[in-house]
Amino acid sequence: MFQRRLGLPAPGTETFFLWGPRQTGKTTLLRETYPKAVWIDLLKAEEYRRYLEHPEWLRSELPENGVMPFVVIDEVQKVPQLLDEVHWLHENRGVQFALCGSSARKVRRGHANLLGGRAIRYELFGLTSSELGPDWNIGKMLNQGYLPRIYPSNTHRRLLNAYTANYLKEEIAAEGLIRNLPVFSAFLNKAALSDTEPVNYSTVARDCGVSSQTIKGYFQILEDTLLARWLPAYRKRPKRRVVTSPKFYFSDVGVVNFLAKRGFMEQGSELYGKAFENWLFHEISAHNMYNELFATISYWRLSSGSEVDFIINDMEIAIEAKSSRKISANHLKGLRQLRVDHPEVKRLLVVCCEEKPRRTKDGIEILPAEYFTKLLWNNEIL
């Protein structure tokens, strides 16, 4: 059992949404945190049908006075109409809810009641280095991904195959998000090739045989179902032409590896480097969310090609992901060019696979991945 870093409120103190990709452990975390809660599981067919036909029954099934129970509704996006009842019960009877789901798309697109901003939003990521502790292995994580069930497994490819099939069945087909499931399935394989890169919609559209507008809609579905996220480009005060397109990241690198048909990746390969960048974005994003830092994360790239992977806040920290065991001057070109264009940058870091931390003569910190994660989760980076 993993000790998760996301802290949830005490039962009955507030109403909140808990979002996260499938199989990140949301239900497990809620059951551990709220063992005495009233539990409504919309994955159960009988409960789903009952509340779909009569969402008002929720009101009649909870007490009208006395001590109000704390209620967990799992997979709330399956019956968005329940949110009207949740809102009423919260306002009129003081009932507090934990509302859990893996897709906000149906809720948002259906203009469902989001409780008028009264509910706090939490998000659960896949496993982090801090949660794995001594069981953390960077090579294993880059090959098998961050999902709690899949990371420790010896049959991770079989599980990733089932994960992808269930995503298509449960999130896409069951929710009626698209009409042509085979095309969307083919799109997933093409999208995996765009991980850690700006997306060329025209190229993906041509490969899938559909329009660019359709492909944009498909990428939006990946974002809405929390399977992926975008990293915006840093655009403030450019001294020369910069790239402005966002970069695309899947929420789990194991899913990327399976969809892109990557074999076992050894340290030093180009694909290992891309997976390393995905992991670093995952680690920084989870730390930022769990600690409620609200830091802005972006990337910087000149049209000429110089790039820095992550810019934290307004040039507070610049971080480059390099999976090499030996960092050379060539690996530092992006950071040094960034400092020329943005001398206000306060801290320059390279996260890599060297054995020991060091500092270059011009102040760039070279940090091994394990050392970096310890600093990060001890709040010495952000």
pLDDT at 116 (0 to 100): 60
Q: 267 phi and psi, to 5 degrees?
A: -60, 135
Question: How far is 49 from 332, CA to CA, in rounded Å?
Answer: 58
Q: CA gyration radius for the chain?
A: 22
Fold type of domain 16-123: Rossmann fold (3.40.50)
**Lowest mean pLDDT across 43-57, 166-180, 280-294:** 166-180
> How is the chain split among helix, strand and coil, in percent rounded to 5?
40, 15, 40
Distances (CA, A) of 229 to 125, 170, 197, 225, 242: 12, 20, 12, 10, 21
Identify the burial level of 256 via C-beta atoms within 10 angstroms of its C-beta, where 0-12 means exposed, 13-18 middle and 19 or more buried: buried
The single-letter DSSP state of residue 331 is: G
Asked whether the predicted pLDDT for residue 331 surpasses 90, the reply is yes
Q: What is the pLDDT of residue 118?
A: 66
CA angle 219, 260, 162 (to 5 degrees): 85
pLDDT at 67 over 50: yes
- What pLDDT score was predicted for residue 332? 98
In the predicted model, is pLDDT for residue 111 greater than 70? no
Question: Would you say residue 110 has pLDDT above 60?
Answer: no
- pLDDT above 90: percentage of residues in the chain: 81
DSSP 135: G
Residue 112 clears pLDDT 60, i.e. is over it: no
- For residue 236, the model assigns a pLDDT of 84
- The answer to whether the CB of 237 falls within 8 A of the CB of 211 is no
Taking the CB of residue 191, how many other CB atoms lie within 10 A of it?
Answer: 24
What are the DSSP calls for 41-103, one per residue? ETTSHHHHHHHHH-TTHHHHHS-SSSSPPEEEEETGGG-TTHHHHHHHHHHHT--EEEEEES-
pLDDT of 109 reads 58
The domain locations on the chain are 16-123, 129-377
Buried b (16+ CB within 10 A) or exposed e, 211-235: eeebbeebbebbebbbbbbebebbe
pLDDT grade for 53, boundaries at 50, 70 and 90:
very high
226: left (phi over 0), alpha (psi -120 to 50) or beta: left
What confidence score (pLDDT) does residue 113 get? 54
Residue 81 has pLDDT above 70, yes or no: yes
Write out pLDDT tens, residues 191-200: 999 999 999 9
Q: What is the pLDDT of residue 117?
A: 63
Report whether pLDDT(304) > 80. yes
Q: Tell me the average pLDDT of the chain.
A: 92
Residue 66 has pLDDT above 80, yes or no: no
Predicted local distance difference test score (pLDDT) of residue 367:
98
Please tell me which of 86-95, 109-118, 291-300 the model is most confident about, judged by mean pLDDT.
Answer: 291-300
166 and 142 Cβ atoms separated by less than 8 Å: no
Tell me the pLDDT band of 373, cut-offs 50, 70 and 90. very high
> If pLDDT is split at 50, 70 and 90, which confidence band does 103 have?
confident
Residue 338 has pLDDT above 70, yes or no: yes
Percentage of residues in the chain having pLDDT higher than 70: 95
